[in-house]
Amino acid sequence: MRPPLDTPENVEPGNHVAALLRPESAADPSLTSRELASRAFRDALGGFATGVTVLTALAPDGQPVGVTISSFNSVSLQPPLILWSLACDSPRLEAFRRSRHYAVNVLAADQEWISDRFASRDADRFSGVHTIAGMGGVPLLHGCAACFECSSEAHYPGGDHIIFVGRVSRFSRNELAAPLIFHGGRYRVLSDAS
């Protein structure tokens, strides 16, 4: 049976390992092999193009919280379930864990600045961001490509992240808005190959 792919050390022999052993990488004395493996692992994961979302909720004290998340994905149509994951060391983890409702705001191509804002150390991430109140008072961001309002269904441990599963209660979609894309550590926009 194959070992689980849960650490860079478990990557099976092949192209990935060959990438780790590239002479220019191995020649850098400032990097340990563990750092190299971790960087190569992240780079390989970054080859999977995703959209960009901002997860929003209300903290127990009623303050809005939000964080940029690309680990969003669909899980089930019946019942309608989605998932995303948040780093265990995020200061917003407890707010999301305790919140009965949250929203997945799928960013549009012109909302790169919102992604940067909600991934920054900015104390007031919502400053200048237009929101309306959704279910449970959760702030919904204006101008997104789509929005999924969820009730919290489950949390699962996932290494250094917590995996959240949400049940979608309401959603909206702006068919005219092109989505913001994240790939290879950079923002991109879709262009028709044809």
Ligand X SMILES: Cc1cc2nc3c(=O)[nH]c(=O)nc-3n(C[C@H](O)[C@H](O)[C@H](O)COP(=O)(O)O)c2cc1C
Using CB under 6 A as the criterion, which residues of the chain lie in contact with ligand X when the complex forms? Answer: 52, 67-71, 85-87, 90-92, 115, 118-119, 161, 182
Measured between alpha carbons, how far apart are the two ends of the chain, in Å?
A: 42
Nearer to ligand X, 26 or 189 (CB): 189
Nearer to ligand X, 20 or 181 (CB): 181
Taking the complex as a whole, the smallest distance from the CB of residue 50 to ligand X amounts, in Å, to 8
* Contact predicate 105/141, CB 8 Å: yes
Nearer to ligand X, 2 or 186 (CB): 186
Taking the complex as a whole, the smallest distance from the CB of residue 83 to ligand X amounts, in Å, to 10
CA 5 to chain CA mean position, Å:
20
Taking the complex as a whole, the smallest distance from the CB of residue 20 to ligand X amounts, in Å, to 24
Residue among 70, 54, 75 nearest 154 (CA): 75
Q: In what order do the strands lie in the sheet with 50-51?
A: 50-51, 180-183, 186-189
Distance CA 115, CA 70 (A): 10
Nearer to ligand X, 33 or 74 (CB): 74
Taking the complex as a whole, the smallest distance from the CB of residue 187 to ligand X amounts, in Å, to 7
